[in-house]
Amino acid sequence: MTERNKKTPYWNWISAALALAGVIVFIFATFGPPASSSGFVSTVKGFLQIVAPGYAESKEHYRMIPGPGSWLMAFVLGMAIGGFLAGRTFKMPVRDVPEVWEKRFGPSKIRRYSAAFIGGFLILFGSRLAGGCTLGLFISGSTQLAISGLYFGAVIFGVAMLTSRIVYGKTGKEET
């Protein structure tokens, strides 16, 4: 385990878990349960309030989540800034097509972007049906001891593991 950690520019998982738990407890103390899929609703709501205000007003899903001038929207924008700052100060360059994907499906960006788009559609459709995502339901929910969070977490991990086996087949295993 120690030799493995030396090879990677990533943080140790235990310290990182402590750091993120600190941020989560800070969020509970200053706002409430953290969530990120709700930020998508705030974003779409803000867009619709400009182009189709009547429609946004008529739909329950937009009525139940605050619009762009909210903690939820600021949080997801903050995530993008945090990712930007972290990426700028990181040794490893980013790729538009992940290695394991390229090994299985080739370097086509269009193919990867299409799959990424469909995947994005599915994770948000699922999150909005459940009422939260990895953060808003699994992490937030489980932190509050909610059975919904534990149930959602167990199923998303299981299904994602199965899906990646089907998507990548044996290619994932060929790496050193």
Residues 93-122 that bind other proteins (CB under 8 A): 94-101, 109, 112-122
Site string for other proteins, 48-87 (x = CB under 8 A): -----------xxxx------xxxxxxxxxxxxxxxxxxx
Q: To the nearest whole angstrom, how small is the minimum distance from the Cβ of residue 106 to other proteins?
A: 14
CA-closest candidate to residue 133, choices 57, 72, 45, 68: 72
Which residues 138-157 are close enough to bind other proteins by CB under 8 A?
138-149, 151-152, 155-157
Q: Are 144 and 150 in contact (CB under 8 A)?
A: no
Which C-beta is closer to other proteins: that of 50 or that of 60?
A: 60
Q: Are 103 and 109 in contact (CB under 8 A)?
A: no
DSSP type of residue 12: P
Q: Are 109 and 98 in contact (CB under 8 A)?
A: no
Query: Which of 57, 106, 107, 164 is close enough to bind other proteins by CB under 8 A?
Result: 164
Site string for other proteins, 11-50 (x = CB under 8 A): x-xx-xxxxxxxxxxxxxxxxxxx-xx-xxx-xx------
Q: To the nearest whole angstrom, how small is the minimum distance from the Cβ of residue 110 to other proteins?
A: 10
Contacts of 90 (CB under 8 A, 6+ apart): 9
89-98 CB contacts, 8 Å cutoff, 24+ apart: 90/9, 91/9, 92/9
Q: To the nearest whole angstrom, how small is the minimum distance from the Cβ of residue 50 to other proteins?
A: 14
Q: Determine the size of the site formed for other proteins (CB under 8 A).
A: 127
CA-closest candidate to residue 64, choices 131, 155, 141: 131
Query: Which of 9, 50, 51, 54 is close enough to bind other proteins by CB under 8 A?
Result: 9
Query: Which of 4, 50, 51, 54 is close enough to bind other proteins by CB under 8 A?
Result: 4
Compute CA 96 distance to the chain's CA centroid, rounded to the nearest angstrom. Answer: 17
Q: To the nearest whole angstrom, how small is the minimum distance from the Cβ of residue 54 to other proteins?
A: 14
131 counts as binding other proteins under rule CB under 8 A? yes
